[in-house]
Structure formats: structure tokens, C-alpha cells
Structure 1
Amino acid sequence: MPAPRKSSDRYRSMAHYFGALIRDLRDSYESRVGEPLTMSHLAARTGYSASMIGQIERGETLPESGTRVRTLDNALRAEGQLILLWPVVQRLGNHPINDLAAATNRITRGYRENGPCALIGGDDMERRYLLQLAGLGMLAQSPIFSTGEHIRQLLERSFGGPDGGTEDQWEAICADHMHALVNRPPTEALDGLMVDLALLYQQMSVAPPEQSARLQRIAAWMATMHANLLTRLGVYGEAGRWWRTARQAADASQDVDMQVWVRGTEAVFGLYSPRSLETVLTLARDAQTLAAGRVAAGLFQAVSAEAQTLAVMGRHQEARESVQRLHDLVERSTPDRRFNWTSDQVFFVSSWVHSFEGATEAAREARDSTLAQSPCYQNATNVRLHEAISLSSSGGHNEALQLVTKVLSELDPAYRSRMITHTARRVLDAVPSDQRAALPALPDYRAALSAPTST
């Protein structure tokens, strides 16, 4: 989405910047969507008067709530950009931009006195660049300002360093984020990712055409990780928009392996969201069709999603056939570790499928094999919940709920992602509804599920 782009603009405040962005999104609507969007049309879609829209676009007033911002974002097809900026706007509001720049100057004075050149001078373009990075990088907190990332970027540039990275450098950055994604709490991993998404946005906005496809591939990779983390945090609406962005970036890159990986990963994470099982199964099979026989991490993800979805649907014979196909694929090919496909994954999928079928011994063997591979906390916790699903599928309903309560109570709340609690809820789904109220373990189970999570 375009940021306010007129070089003559001098943003007096964050409210002025926010209003200018809304104006530019409305002005660009026809080129993006194919139909014009006048101020009156936008007012009708959002419940505002046309005069109020004008005041907001001029920075004279702000939307009164996050709900209003979401309505504006949807009406403008802003892909979440206004929602992302809103916490920043709330904090900075009408605070003069020049004061913010002066505060930044004070922070960097030591660098300027001893470094080869001034980091921040009187150049308004530099200030707007810093503001744009801050806006793109902030969610509920400020990973860019709080870690000094904006200072580091400007310092690097003062030494003549590049504004962006090479493809190899971005590959290394993505690998670091993949590692953080499976080893750190979701909120921490999200903050770090947002900083580099802002940097990537900046590089893509000035990159020559010959670099576009490579950067679009990186954008697809990073957007997929962002959607992954939002799903873990239970922010499903925003996650859906990021999945769409990831698909669009992958398609623009024309990298088939990336296209398949994005779609296969989306299918896997669809199992941990409110999406219907039929939709998830379609995603998984579409990804396999797109792979057209190419054996790669994305195909492994797609087959995994298919097997797991069929198991939840109760189509156990088909699920076992998909698991066997997954084993065969892994035996024929070395997985690409850049995309976090590790040797325990195939056993994790087997554990899921056998647990839903109530095949106790096969589920136990797959679970033990998963844990023996030293997996990430997410898989280690979820296979213990698979054991509870297996118990419940075999008739041990009360014992299953007791096990879930134990697993959740032992897990640090920072790591208690919505993916984990989503699996925990499936344990109760395996209990006939007319038997649930009589289970002694039900109150503790419900209390464990309602305890604070990483959100």
C-alpha cells in the first residue's frame, strides 16, 4: 500500500500523516481496485459524513476508536495498514513531528559528535523516512524505537552502508526469523519480524525492476511467517489478510517452490483457526496440484495438512494413506531445512492421525519418535495433547481432560499459543456432548483453557 507520497508534504503531526495516508489510499483506490472512491462514497461505507472524512484526511481530527479504523481500512482495501498504524497514532496524536525529530537528535547527539557525519540533520525527507519506518514497525509496542533500530539504520547509512540487503542477506535474515518463530514466544518473534518487514518495504519501494522478483520472494517468505505468528496469537482476521499477501507475493515472484510452500503452510495453519475443514482440505490439495510433482518443503506441508484434516473429519483410511505418502516423499528427498521442515515433522503428523483414530499403540510410537527428535516447544507440547486426544478417542474422557489440564498448567503463559489451546479444545470435541457435564475433570480443564495466553 502506498505511504503518503508527495515530496512537498511536511507532516505536522502523526494525525496529519495518518490523514494523508487515508487520502492517498482513497486517491489510489481506482488504480488498485478498478473503480473510483469519492469522499462521499467513503463516508457512506464507513458511517461518517463527507465533511468528517475531509477533517480526518486533513489531520484535523482522528477516528474515535479502533473499530472505526478497522472500518476505514476495510473500505479502503488498505490490507491492514491503517490498523497497524493506529496504535502509533493513538500515542503520538497531534504531537509535533519536529519535536519528535528533535528528541531523536538528542538521543543520537553522541553519535554525531564522534561519528563521521551527522545521523539526523534538518532534512525533512530523513525525518519522514524515520517516521515511516516507525509507523510500519509498531504494533502495540515499538520494536523499532524501543530497541534503537531506527538509530542503527541511520548509523549504518552514515557509514555508506546499503539501504537494503542482498538476496543472500535476506535469506539469512529469514532463517533467523524461522528459528525465532519456533523457539521464542510468539509476541517476541513478531516484534523482531516487524522491524525487518519495514526494512524490506523500504527496499522494495526503491528497488530496480531486475531485483523485484527476488525481493517478492523474500516478501512472500516473511509475510508467511507473519501470518504464522498472527495465527499463533489468535488474530485470525489479520492473519487471513497476511496469508493473502503472502500468496500474492509468491505468485509475483514466479518461484513455484515458494508458491507451494506458502499455500501448504497456510493449509497447515488453517487447522488451528476458525476456517472450515473443507476449506483447509481444498487449500492442501490445491498446493499439491500446483507442485506438479516437485518434491519440496511446500509439498510436505500440503500433504501433512491433507492427512491431518482427513483425520479430524473422521476419514481415517484416507488419512492413513496420506501419512504413508508423506513418509514415502520424505524418504525420497532431503527436506529443505530453511523452511523448518525437520525429521520429527512426519512423526508429528502420524501422531495426530493415529490419535484421532484412537490407534493407541501407533500414536504412542509416533509421539515417542517426535519427542526423540528434540522438537520445538510447539510440537513437544502438541504431541502431549495428541496423547489426550488418543485417550479420549479410546473412551478415556476424564483422563484425557486431566492430561490437558496438566500440560497447560506446566507451560509458561508466554508460550501458550492459540495453536496449542486450539489443539487442547479438540480433546473435548472427542467427548460425546451428553457425557461432558458428568466428567469430574471438566471444571479444571475449562479453567486451564481460559488461563492467560501469549496474547
Structure 2
Amino acid sequence: MIDTRDRSRAFRVQIVQGCSGLFRDRESAEGRQSMGSRFGQVMRRLRGDSTVRAFARRANISASYVSMLEKGDINPSVKLAISLDRDLAANGGLLTAFVADAIEHRNVPSDTPIHQDGFVPTLVTDNAGDEDGEDATNRRQMLRLAGAAAMGTVIDDEATRRRLNDAMGAHRSLDEWSTAHEDHLHALRTRPPAQVAHDLSIDLDTLSRQIELAKGSELVELHRVTALLAAIQANAFTRLAQHGTALRWWETARWAADASRDLDIRLLVRAEEAGHGLYGQRSPQSVLRLLTEAEHLAGQRPMLKLAAIKAKALSKAGRHAEAEEALDRMTDLAHRGVRGDAQGFWTPNELYFSQSWVYAAMGREEAAARAREELLRLTSSYVYEANIQLHAAWAAIVSGGVEQGASQAATTIAAVPEQFRTVHVLETARMTLRAVPVEHRTRPAVGELRAILADSA
């Protein structure tokens, strides 16, 4: 039996390690690889599991240029550094790395003020020019570039802000942490997941330091906060297809939920973990095992989210009759007034989304369409909107309209901006593609869908 203090310490270490770098995967080969520049290292972390080609399209540069930047073989111009930081939602991370590289390699004082007055396409080049002349002065003036042109502000000096907070003895109240949880959950539904993961990592680092000092009832409440924020972070990394990192964050969320001794939080975290596992992170059988464990933990307590996820998991496993029975149980719970979680993760959207998924997989186009209509009435989430369009394509394919469905799916994916082509959207499109009968997989529309998915990988 592990000692409670040891378990708490292990939990806190996990939080600190999980937050220690932007999208850092501690066990990946990339994480152990020596990079040629800070800029290249940050770019590589931002890319995550995306292919170089897909990442290059998102960054609006060539794949070979991405490779050279990551290896440190070349350095970007001021204009390109600003553009990449903005387009890749790096929130100043690339700009900070650019400045650090420039200061290190050009021996420019770190406190040199920089003004944005256009662009210098050869800011960091092999021909330094006259270091005592006007060229050198211009280089020094541009080096701090800060995201002023990109975001209208100077580089966010997070370390300075934290030192100020520490010096003032800043301490977030539980109400403030509740607000932070709501803010990050809203961001998850409306902003690119890379931005969500980056912003949330800052709060998680703050939380880990506050946990170290907390005692008694405050520590228990902070465990609840940690469970919720870690679940959001796991969700964000799932959307980025960084599944190894996501799985570790799910583990941290479970540890924190168990430490809180709050059954509702424990069930919520497990349901969220199982639900996101359906998007290429786990097999349907593994997800069903997680659900069985959660149901055992719940005992007689009904939970809408568990019923909804079970319906989708059974559907993905090809057990359509059982999936429809699970849908009926979910609908019955809703009619009996069973409410979703009180933490904001559950919304009525999930009722109709689950129906749309299950009926699409069965080829029941009319039933799926009714669920989509109800869902569109309630939601403005980019994930839901893209996925239910894919459900319509999925239902059409299963019903025999292969050309129509494949064309609709390809059009849907093409319309989604690169930064919003999350694993949730792409995996739904892959499920749609897998529904195409073998004898129809050489059709032009199917080839188009396959190609756009390959490009988005």
C-alpha cells in the first residue's frame, strides 16, 4: 500500500513535470534530440505529431524550410518570425526563442530596445556587415522585436510576472481557480488547442506551486481544481494528436480526482478520459473497459455522460443494437431529469451528438438528421459543427451513397482551418472513410477524401 504522503508527492511531481515545457513529451526521441537553435526547438515542439508537410502548410512555408528551421540550419527573418508566431498561435514563444538566438549569436545586449519599423529580411545572416556602422545599429534595434508587431505588445515575460506574484505573496482563492477552470473550458471550445495547451500550462505551473504550500481542506479543494484543469489539458493534447502526453495528463487527472475524494469529480474525469479515447487514442474495447470500471465506481448513481460515451463506444465497436439500447438509456435518464455534471463539461449538445454518431454509423439518415438539427440549434462549437457534417456524410455512405458522402466529407475537412483540424475532426473523417465498402474505395470522391486526410496528418 503506497503511503498517502508518497502518493501526494508523486502526484505533485507529475504536475510539475507535465508543465515543464511547451508540448514537451518527456519520453519522445524528439525530446532527447539536440536542436540547432532555440527557435528550431520551439518549432519542433509546436509541430508535435504533425508531419512536416502538414505543419508547413499551416505555417505557409515550404516543408524543406520547416526542416531547416527545426535543425537550426537557417534562421528566419524578423518578418517571418513575427508571422510564424502569429500563424502558429505560439503566443510569443517563437519570438522569445528568436530573440534569444539572436542575442546569443550576435552578442547583442539583452536590454537593447527594439523598435518595429518594417522588416529586415536578412537580420540574422552569415554576412554580418560593418559591426560599427548603420547595419549593425539596425540589427541591434530590431533584435528585441517582442511580439509588438504581431500582438501589439512586448514579449510576455512570464518569468518576471511570476517573480512579481511571488514577491507580493499572490495566492489564488478557490473562487479564482473556479473562474480559471471556466475560462480554460471556454477556450477549449472556441480557440485552437495549441493555444489552449500553452495558456493552461502556465496556470498549471502556478497551481503546482500553490499545492506545495497548501494544507488540510485547501489541499483537498486544490486536488479538485487540479483534476479539472488536468482533464482540460489532456483534452487539448488529444485534439493535437499528442496521445502519449494526453494519456499522462489523464493519469494525473485521475490521481487528483481520487485525492479529492469527490465521487462526482472521479466519475467525470473517467468519463472524459473514456470519451476522448474514442478518437484514435484507445481501441473501442479499451474504452469499454474504462467505462465498466467507471460504472462500478458509480454504483447506483446514474450519469448521463457515461451513458452517452458508452453508446458511441459500442457503435465504434460495431455493436449497433447495443449502442441503440445505450442511447435509449441515455434518453430515459434525461427525461427523468438526471442532470449532467456541475463542472461545465456536460452540455445538452452531447445528447444529440451521441444520437447523430450512433444513427450515422447505422445508416439511419433521417434519425441522424433530426439529431443534427437539434444540435445545430444549441451549439456554435467548431468541433461539433464539423463533426456532425461528417456524420451526415457517414450516414450517406452507409446508406449506399458513397460518392455523395465521400465528397461531402472531403468538402467539410477542406473548409476547416488548419489550426482547427483537431484529432476529433480528423478521426471522425477517418471513421467515415472506413465505412466505404471495399469495392467502392477506388471511386474518385473516395480518393479525394483519402488525399485530404493524408495531407492533414
> Aligning the two structures, in what range does the TM-score lie when normalised by the shorter sequence?
0.5 to 0.7
Q: How does 1:328-367 map to 2 (within 5 A)?
A: 328-331=332-335, 332-336=337-341, 338-367=343-372
**Secondary structure in 1 aligned to 2:221?**
helix
Displacement, 1:32? 6.3
Q: 2:379 aligns with which of 360, 366, 374?
A: 374
Amino acid at match of 1:213: V
Q: 2:315 aligns with which of 293, 311, 318?
A: 311
Provide TM-score, normalisation by structure 2: 0.66
* Residue 217 of structure 1, aligned match among 212, 216, 224: 224
- Go from structure 1 to structure 2 and tell me whether the alpha carbon gap of 1:146 and 1:449 turns closer, same or farther (over 3 Å shift): farther
1:190 to 189, 194, 197: 197
The secondary structure found in structure 2 opposite 1:341 is coil
1:67 maps to 29
- Taking the aligned partners of 1:238 and 1:404, their CA distance within structure 2 comes to 29
1:320 maps to which of 304, 321, 324: 324
Does the CA-based 8 Å contact 1:163-1:203 persist in structure 2? no
Q: 2:407 aligns with which of 384, 402, 405?
A: 402
Q: Aligned ranges for residues 385-400 of structure 1 at < 5 Å?
A: 385-400=390-405
Once residues 337 and 176 of structure 1 are traced to their aligned partners in structure 2, the CA distance between those partners, rounded to angstroms, is 15
**1:283 aligned partner:** 290
Quickly say closer, same or farther: Cα 1:155–1:32, change in 2 above 3 A: closer
Partner of 2:252: 245
Distance 1:434 1:377 in 2: 33
The answer on whether the counterparts of 2:406 and 2:445 sit within 8 Å (CA) in structure 1 is yes
Aligned residue-pair number: 333
Contact kept? 1:288, 1:303, Cα under 8 Å: no
Structure 2: distance between partners of 1:207 and 1:390? 52
Match of 1:200 in 2: 207
**1:320-345: CA deviation from partner (whole Å, max 9, x where unpaired):** 11111112222313334532321221
Cα distance, 1:348 vs structure 2: 0.6
> How many angstroms does 1:209 deviate by?
3.7
Deviation, 1:211, is 2.1
Q: Are 1:149 and 2:158 counterparts? A: yes
1:273-311 deviation per Cα after TM superposition (whole angstroms, max 9, x unaligned): 24111101111222122122334xxx3222111100111
Match in the other structure for 1:24:
none
Aligned-residue RMSD, C-alpha: 3.3
Identity %: 33
User: 1:2-151 alignment to 2 at 5 Å?
Assistant: 67=29, 69=31, 146-151=155-160
The 3 A distance-change label for structure 1 pair 221 and 316 is: same
Q: Does 1:444 align with 2:453?
A: no
| Aligned AA (2:455) | A
Offset at residue 214 of structure 1 (A): 1.1
Secondary structure at 2:331's aligned position in 1? helix
Shift, 1:270, TM fit: 0.6
Unaligned 5+ segments in structure 2 are 1-5, 12-26, 34-44, 47-69, 71-92, 115-153
Partner of residue 23, structure 2: none
Paired residue for 1:49?
none
Q: Which has the higher contact order (CA 8 A, sep 6+)?
A: 2
Deviation at residue 199 of structure 1 after TM alignment: 0.4
Deviation (angstroms), 1:316: 1.6
Q: Is the counterpart of residue 426 in structure 1 residue 431 in structure 2?
A: yes
CA gap of 1:103–1:213, structure 2 versus 1, over 3 A, is: farther
Q: What is the CA–CA distance in structure 2 between the aligned matches of 1:377 and 1:407, rounded to whole Å?
A: 12
Change in 2 beyond 3 A, CA 1:254/1:146: farther
Contact kept? 1:381, 1:420, Cα under 8 Å: yes
Find the aligned partners of 2:221 and 2:32 in 1 and give their Cα distance: 32
For structure 1, the residue ranges without an aligned partner over 5 or more in a row are 1-27, 34-64, 72-82, 108-144
Q: What amino acid maps onto 1:287 in structure 2?
A: A
